[in-house]
Structure 1
Amino acid sequence: MSRRIPASATLRDRAEQAAAVLPPLLVAAERVAVTVAQGVHGRRRVGQGETFWQFRQYEPGDAASRIDWRESAKSQRLYVRETEWEAAQSVWLWRDASPSMNYTSAHYVQGAEWPTKRDRAELLLVALASLLVRGGERLTFLGSGMAPMSGRIALSRVVELIGRDQADAPSLPAFEPLPRAGQLVLIGDFLSPPDAVNSVIARFAAAGLKGHLLQVVDPAEEDLPFDGRVRFEGVEERDQVVISRVENVREDYSGRFRRHRDELGAIAATLGWTFGFHRTDRPPHLALLALCAALSADRRG
């Protein structure tokens, strides 16, 4: 009798294959050197060197040795200390799990084999997590309530948490307070109005967090390759639009799509974040390479 391979294991295998074409993400030596130097020179103020960055509530996965008993004694909760160095080497990952991410036009194009946007986003997220783990980074899944971890257990947790998302997940992440100097990687189709995207990431940026947006779209969402009379059905809003001759609106549609993408890029740049674009009919390692370059550049900066 054949043994069924868990879906999470299959996702992890494919993600690590994508990550294998790239070198491990290296932590910028300059950033570590500056942090250590600040501690050596005795500049003992919050947020530098080994001086604690902030207290945060104890979470599953934290070592008991990290509990600050003096601070914890002030309340009924346990607190741990987090240093700037730890925050600087921590990455919070998120991917859009809303219904629109389940779309693929491959069903309507003969010979096409590209995946759904959600499948590609999850592949990229886990592949990135694999590279971060190899580089000694600490990571966690945004919104999970779990503290950043390092090592293979961190990768396993990310894969596990991906499978827990509800079917009607929101298309944008909810804000949560995170340590300054940490980094966010947000992967989704970002088809929400630019103002909605801006309001979300602006709160993270205002809290001192650097971030990276990666927009993942289906080729049909950019090219609108259909002809003739087509009925388009909304995935999240459940509305319908019938266009008698799609080819007549293709140029206008493509222009609006490009403007939307440009607005997202401008929003990210204004806030000091980076923006990347990826189509599901293109090799995943290209998006992963660009994302790794953005992360490395942020560390050097």
Structure 2
Amino acid sequence: MTALLTEAERLAAALGPLSLSHVHRRIMAEGGQHPRRRAGSGTEFWQYRPLAPGEARGRVDWRRSARSDDLFVREREREEPGRLLLFADGSGSMRFRSSEALAEKGEAATLLLTALAMAARQGDEHVRVAGRPDARALPDLHAALLTSVFSVPETGALRAGDTIIWASDFLDSDDLATVTALARRGVTGVMLHIADPVEADFPFSGHVRFTRAEIGDPEADIGRAEALSDTYAKAWQEHQDRLGTMAADNGWALIRHRTDADPAVTLSAIARHLMSEAG
């Protein structure tokens, strides 16, 4: 077991079992259910079928049966419960760290999501990695989070009633469109914004040269950093405001995490939000 997985286990144990069944029931009550085309315990009518031999007559729908010589049962459509899906941005910018004493942004994201998955599994929740339905066992789930190379989740399999925790620095231009598309589909979510402290604080002085974080990014010799301090602070605040607006407009939550912060505090904030969704 890797050190990161061991730390996730410690964090999950401290958090305790996380059960979201009440959240899923509320989502279904608001119209977010995802019916399966087969009989089950849902609320929507599906079909009438003949009463089976040996089946209790108390199940007979007498109104429908009165129109025939046979006895019929009214069946409801099965509803599939919502799931908790996880996604960690695997793009190049998430491999950044400003100090050897800090985790990379991607490592911080993976730690938080793995711990959340462990706590949710303890609460008997259905947990998956978005786009990786085969990752079910915890080691596989952890590996799928850690090895992602995509900046946005594959959305095809997500459905109404699902909840996704999306950990990213949200620097990709497709982020807004993806969040909006998922929200319109009835998917709820948490945007978990991961930042390195130097991104937030811009503590540079003197002559600074920035190297590229991803293929295709330009390198920049910005000269004296003090001259750009105010401009950078304004741009960073605009990024924060954009994320806040993105979350609010789509009914999602925005939770921020710096890689120099205690992950237990951030994990508790995510859990509190998910539990508060019960209203």
**TM value normalised by structure 2:** 0.77
Q: What SS is found at the alignment partner of 1:243?
A: strand
> Counterpart of 2:197?
219
Query: Paired residue for 1:175, among 144, 155, 161?
Result: 155
Give the conservation status (yes or no) of the 8 Å contact 1:45–1:51. Answer: no
AA at the equivalent of 1:293: R
Within-5 A mapping of 1:54-69: none
Give the conservation status (yes or no) of the 8 Å contact 1:46–1:52. Answer: no
Give the conservation status (yes or no) of the 8 Å contact 1:87–1:179. Answer: no
Q: What CA deviation, in whole Å up to 9, does each residue of 1:239-291 have, x standing for no partner?
A: 11111110121122112111111111111111111111110001111111111
Instruction: Verify: 1:210 aligned to 2:183, yes or no.
Output: no
AA at the equivalent of 2:117: A
Give the conservation status (yes or no) of the 8 Å contact 2:166–2:190. Answer: yes
Aligned mates of 2:110, 2:218 — CA distance in 1: 27
Within-5 A mapping of 1:144-155: 144-146=132-134, 153=137, 155=138
The alpha-carbon deviation at position 15 of structure 1 amounts to: 0.6
AA at the equivalent of 2:87: W
Give the conservation status (yes or no) of the 8 Å contact 1:87–1:180. Answer: no
AA at the equivalent of 1:276: I
> Counterpart of 1:186?
166
Q: What SS is found at the alignment partner of 1:247?
A: helix
Aligned mates of 2:228, 2:92 — CA distance in 1: 25
> Counterpart of 1:274?
253
Aligned mates of 1:141, 1:297 — CA distance in 2: 23
Q: What CA deviation, in whole Å up to 9, does each residue of 1:33-87 have, x standing for no partner?
A: 9979xxxxxxx9979972399xxxxxxxxxxxxxxxxxxxxxxxxxxxx953x43
Alignment identity in percent? 31
Instruction: Verify: 1:257 aligned to 2:236, yes or no.
Output: yes
Within-5 A mapping of 1:40-189: 50-51=41-42, 83-84=78-79, 86-88=80-82, 90-107=83-100, 113-146=101-134, 153=137, 155-165=138-148, 169-189=149-169
Q: What SS is found at the alignment partner of 1:201?
A: helix
Gaps of 5+ in 1: 1-5, 37-43, 54-81, 108-112
Q: What SS is found at the alignment partner of 2:160?
A: coil
> Counterpart of 2:268?
289
Aligned mates of 1:33, 1:270 — CA distance in 2: 20
Gaps of 5+ in 2: 30-34, 45-76
1:247–1:128 distance in 2 versus 1, CA, 3 Å: same
**TM value normalised by structure 1:** 0.72
1:101–1:30 distance in 2 versus 1, CA, 3 Å: closer
> Counterpart of 2:67?
none
Q: Which has the higher strand share?
A: 2
**Cα RMSD (Å) of the superposition?**
2.9
Give the conservation status (yes or no) of the 8 Å contact 2:152–2:175. Answer: yes
